[in-house]
Structure 1
Amino acid sequence: MAAVQAEPKWLNLSAGVEQAIEYIDAAADGGARLVAFPETFLPGFPWWMWLNSVDWGEEFLSRYLSNALTADGPELRAIGYAARRKGIHVSIGFAERAGREVFMAQALIDGDGDIAVVRKAEPTGLERTVFSPSDGGLLIRDTEYGRVGVLGGADHLRSELRGRMHEQREQIHIAAWSGFTVYYGEGKEWGPELNTAASVRYAMDGATHVIAPVAVVPVAGWEVVDARRPDRRLLHGGGGVSRIFGPGGLELAPPLGEGEEGVIFADLDINRSLRPAPYSDRPASCRTPSGRITRREPAHT
């Protein structure tokens, strides 16, 4: 199984779809039968919500809407075709456009390219300035590799939702995170420590493997200062890191460094035993008995 850690192609849907397909190919060529992408990877999470300018927000919202996907549109079909071509299951988070509304959506795509989509029921406070709530639902699919479910971001902090998911007896859970940055003035409670701990707790409470993909969020991409105080940054932190955990919370693959882009791999045994990762002699790889990673240089856009 594989988890992607990468910077989205911000507000550029066509480039983002091409990027996603490249990662699908790389994961499949690396031996993965399931690859997971971060929350709202297409077209990227709307970090401008933390900016202090109403004008900027209006500009970004219009661009975000025009770069969001439709559930039955050609972009998601192209990703489904890539999954079928490689015979790999794909989990990907995206912004779903429906009329003038945008929803936080997750898609699970099987190796035949069949697509199932669920919308996040309760976006968090700031997320509701961009995304609409929905009637929700659970996204869990039976596959030849086990029972797979997915949740996005802060849904992992909702005890009642975690309980409903655990009742479904997942064997593989995808905890999709949008990225870890910190708004000026907020404490570490919203940093990677809490979110990684949430993934570990989910693995332990649900007795399930957890694949936790995370987007890279470079400061250079969203660094804006408060207009009232030119020396004050509103955002800081680079995002990351993606992880893969076993049912007891044991980390199964060495993580990439914060801000690095690439894919991490681990072989999962749904009977809760770990098989060694297959040997690969690809030059850009690093292997351990429990997992491996591939790296690539961050794209500059």
Structure 2
Amino acid sequence: MGIEHPKYKVAVVQAAPLWLDLDGTVDKTIRLIEEAAENGAKLIAFPEAFIPGYPWHIWMDSPAWAIGRGFVQRYFDNSLAYDSPQADKLRSAVRRSGLTAVLGLSERDGGSLYLAQWLLGPDGETIVRRRKLRPTHAERTVYGEGDGSDLAVHDRPGIGRLGALCCWEHLQPLSKYAMYAQNEQVHVAAWPSFSLYDPFAFALGAEVNNAASRVYAVEGSCFVLAPCATVSQAMVDELCDRPDKHALLHAGGGFAAIYGPDGSSLAEKLAPDQEGLLYADIDLGAIGVAKNAADPAGHYSRPDVTRLLFNKTPARRVEHFSLPVDGEAAAETVAPTS
């Protein structure tokens, strides 16, 4: 008798958040989770920083402008903390729906923010909280960094070996290889939207970045779920406070996709300004066929020529330790004998 390969339905989000509205976006996230579950999905994937929305203000003007307009404070206040009522609400929704969710969010931890993806299991438990290893360009004015422990793949019953990366982490060859080497089967490639600086920054557009998702699927011989947010007109109206700024950010920009391990498109795409869920039925048995041709960290590798150094130890900012008690002090603590 052969191996039983999991087969199930996946859902990928293409939608706009209620920008800088934590409670509103959490409620919308829950509605999408419930809709996916009602339609039989066992896994749902959300865009990058969907909660409370991507910080588009960092690309629109100077840091001083963003502070003066209140965007910096609002973004911090509406980011999601792990031990918060909103996070509890999300975990409860995932548990009720009985699916696995890969959330995209701005995570607030103390006085810092991180571009995070939380993987939640069907019992509402946290599989992992990962953080983008290196925020991209202007994002570094908002977010801190992850570490090597965030390049991880997780074996989940009925789902397979699940991993996730954000946005231009898919342009980092070594990070990708670290994931491929863990025999990833289902990958969430989370994107914010593809309407920034269009059309004069081609590298930020849908054609390039959907190609990155597609190449990841072929290189890794895995299924790639590529959620992508849309930009609402309300967001444009709030961010574009001068006429010339309307050339920097446009409504729409949604180009969500699902790719198979051979690079084929598995779901009919929505219009760039349309919100909804993409669905696909996946069969993990297809991965063996793809890897028979080219397994990047297996038979198609040449470790005698090139190999990856990978430090996956969590980078702790503080290490707690105790000094040994000196001899004189130790003698004073010994009770006298009678």
Given the two structures, how large is their TM-score scaled by the length of structure 2? 0.76
**Secondary structure at 2:180 match in 1:** helix
Distance 1:63-1:269 versus aligned 2 partners, 3 A rule: same
One-letter code aligned to 2:205: G
One-letter code aligned to 1:118: R
Partner of 2:323: none
Asked which structure has the greater CA Rg, the reply is 2
Matches within 5 A, 1:71-150: 71-115=82-126, 116-136=128-148, 137-143=150-156, 144-150=158-164
Structure 1: where are the runs of 5+ without partners?
274-301
**Secondary structure at 1:33 match in 2:** strand
Distance 1:248-1:184 versus aligned 2 partners, 3 A rule: closer
Partner of 1:206: 220
One-letter code aligned to 2:130: V
| Distance in 2 of aligned mates of 1:210 and 1:104 | 20
Alignment partner for residue 8 of structure 1, among 4, 17, 21?
A: 17
Contact 2:104/2:117, CA 8 A, preserved across alignment: yes
Given the two structures, how large is their TM-score scaled by the length of structure 1? 0.85
| Distance in 1 of aligned mates of 2:63 and 2:91 | 37
| Distance in 1 of aligned mates of 2:245 and 2:32 | 38
**Secondary structure at 1:107 match in 2:** strand
How far the C-alpha of 1:177 sits from its partner, in A, is: 0.5
How far the C-alpha of 1:108 sits from its partner, in A, is: 0.5
**Secondary structure at 1:247 match in 2:** coil
Partner of 1:279: none
Partner of 1:289: none
How far the C-alpha of 1:134 sits from its partner, in A, is: 2.9
**Secondary structure at 1:84 match in 2:** helix
| Distance in 2 of aligned mates of 1:97 and 1:69 | 5
Contact 2:228/2:256, CA 8 A, preserved across alignment: yes
Structure that is richer in strand per residue:
1
One-letter code aligned to 1:182: L
Please tell me the root mean square deviation across aligned C-alpha atoms, in Å: 1.9
Q: Percent identity?
A: 40
Partner of 2:183: 169
Contact 1:225/1:233, CA 8 A, preserved across alignment: no
Contact 2:195/2:249, CA 8 A, preserved across alignment: yes
Contact 1:95/1:102, CA 8 A, preserved across alignment: yes
| Distance in 2 of aligned mates of 1:169 and 1:235 | 38
Partner deviation per Cα, 1:160-183 (whole Å, 9 max, x = no partner): 000000001111111011111222
Distance 1:140-1:73 versus aligned 2 partners, 3 A rule: farther
How far the C-alpha of 1:76 sits from its partner, in A, is: 1.9
